Amino acid sequence: MDLRNISQEEFEIIEAYLTDTLSDEDSLKFEDRLKNEDGFATKVEDIRTVLTGIETQALKEQLDHFHHDLSTDKNKTTKKPKVKSLNWKRITVAAALIIAAGSFWFLNDNTNERLYAKYFTPDPGLPTTMGSNENYEFYEAMVSYKQGNYQDALNTWKNQLKTKTTNDTLNYFVGSALLAYKKENEAISYLLEVTKQANTTFKNEAFYYLGLAYLKANNKNEAINFLKKSDFTKAKDLLKKLN
Amino acid sequence: MREVYKTGQKLQIVSAIKSNDSVTLRRIYTSNYPKVETLVLKNNGTKDHAKDIFQEAFLAVWQNVKQDKFIPQNESSINGYLYTIAKNKWMDVLRSQGYKKTVIASQLSYFEIKDGENNGIDDDILKDKRLEDVMLAFKDLGDACKSILRMFYFEKKSMNLIAEELKLDSASTRNKKYRCMQKLRQIALKNN
């Protein structure tokens, strides 16, 4: 049996079966084929392995990113420079490189930083009205957020996120608070989560703030990428200055 | 009421893991790694060992949650489970031939080696040859295909969202996905 030989139609129906998106009727037909058609079950198992393989490898690659973040966080605090013997020639070359790279970074950083400062204002937040709110904790934190007590707001919201991981409102405001709290790198993953939701009302905001977060992190390409996706005039304005 | 809340929490963490929610996965990764690193470092291992062992264990936990072989009650039961698997895996390494020559059992300060401590936990998901081939093939797949398959099967984005991102209509997106799939399977078969 040649496993390579599978039509698009057949692939799609197997995929739908494996991801549990077939209608009841089609499901029955499918199970029937599984039982009666020679070699079909092997094909289905193969596709199942391929889908698992893709997912597993994609996660594995993401784990390396997590690990990288872990070690950069640590290096900042624990690495001490060790100089055993002085090699002046090397040191001079290194110093020259550092100065060159540093001044490039500084100049580059400066314009991005300035633009960021000009365009960034924290999201004003949601109106908090007194009364019969079922979600008291959330609005309590919203008050903290508006008063600029980002840490307090973050504590509550992050806690709520543990049980509502894909909630777009929570992800969006955690992202906003982190950004206002000058933790743009952390903010990015929350804002990205918002943009994954197809019907979120925060889409334009999230894209705009993602653009700003990347700008602050000095990643101009990504910044442009996300600003393009936002309908805000501010986003379009900023894009013109970046191009 | 409390029970209801607990069930809700359980469902949330399971569905977050099943949907590969990156915030949750990152939190589990970063909050558990240091303990495992300490364990491995104190027991004749290096940081590289610790990373490999931990990542293997992490993938095993994820896979077992996905297949409902392990149903965590909350996040701390995941943490315990992850640590146990990592510990078992590191013990397997220590018991293996390469290590027996160099390590004296009394040097192992952190845990005693007991046989049969594996508790029947299934943590060998990566030992399937075909799966390994697919993973290698995906690693080397071109960027365009890699990104589209990633969006579908790892990020689990909706068809409409992906089509929008690729600026294609949904028929062409589906066809592109199919062609990438064929390419991946061809590479995987060739590696065989």
Residues from chain A that touch B63, judged by Cβ atoms under 8 A, are 52, 56
The C-alpha of A35 sits at a distance from chain B's nearest C-alpha, in angstroms, of 23
Residues A140, A130: Cα–Cα separation, whole Å:
10
- Phi-psi region for residue B131, left (φ > 0), alpha (ψ -120 to 50) or beta? alpha
Give the nearest chain B residue to A52 (CA atoms): B131
The C-alpha of A78 sits at a distance from chain B's nearest C-alpha, in angstroms, of 14
Say if CB B34 and CB A39 are below 8 A apart: no
Say if CB A194 and CB A202 are below 8 A apart: yes
| pLDDT for the residue numbered A202 | 85
Which residue among A4, A69, A164 places its CB closest to the CB of B189?
A4
| pLDDT for the residue numbered A89 | 73
Report phi then psi at A37, rounded to 5: -90, 130
Residues B16, B19: Cα–Cα separation, whole Å:
5
Report phi then psi at B167, rounded to 5: 55, 45
Residues from chain A that touch B134, judged by Cβ atoms under 8 A, are 49-50, 52-54, 57
Residues from chain B that touch A50, judged by Cβ atoms under 8 A, are 134, 181, 184-185, 188
Q: Mean of the per-residue pLDDT values for chain A? A: 82
Domain positions in chain A: 8-71, 116-242
pLDDT band per the 50, 70, 90 thresholds, residue B178: very high
CATH code of the domain occupying B2-120: 1.10.1740.10
Q: Mean of the per-residue pLDDT values for chain B? A: 83
| pLDDT for the residue numbered B123 | 62
Give A88-104 pLDDT, tens digit per residue: 777 777 788 787 777 66
Lowest mean pLDDT among A71-75, B18-22, B125-129: A71-75
Give B111-161 pLDDT, tens digit per residue: 444 444 445 566 666 667 889 999 999 999 999 999 999 999 999 999 999
> Is domain B129-191 in CATH 3.40.1010.10, yes or no?
no
Kind and range of the H or E run holding A166: none
Domain positions in chain B: 2-120, 129-191
| pLDDT for the residue numbered B114 | 45
| pLDDT for the residue numbered B129 | 85
Residues from chain A that touch B180, judged by Cβ atoms under 8 A, are none
Q: Burial code of A39-60, b = ≥16 C-beta within 10 A, e = fewer?
A: ebeebbebbebbbbbbbbbbbb
Give A150-182 pLDDT, tens digit per residue: 888 888 888 888 888 888 888 889 998 988 888
Architecture of domain A116-242: Alpha Horseshoe (1.25)
Q: Return the higher-pLDDT residue of B184 and A243.
A: B184
Examine the pLDDT at A73 and tell me if it is beyond 70.
no
Examine the pLDDT at A16 and tell me if it is beyond 90.
yes
| pLDDT for the residue numbered B113 | 43
| pLDDT for the residue numbered B192 | 59
Give A187-239 pLDDT, tens digit per residue: 888 888 888 887 888 888 888 899 888 888 888 888 888 888 888 888 888 88
| pLDDT for the residue numbered A129 | 61
Residue percentage of chain B with pLDDT more than 90: 60
pTM listed for this prediction: 0.58
Determine, for residues A162 and B51 on separate chains, whether the beta-carbon distance falls below 8 Å: no
Q: Which residues of A lie inside 8 Å of B (Cβ-Cβ)?
A: 3-4, 6, 8, 11-12, 46, 49-63, 66-67, 69-70, 161-166, 171, 189-190, 192-193, 196, 198
Determine, for residues B30 and A189 on separate chains, whether the beta-carbon distance falls below 8 Å: no
Q: Return the higher-pLDDT residue of B149 and A121.
A: B149
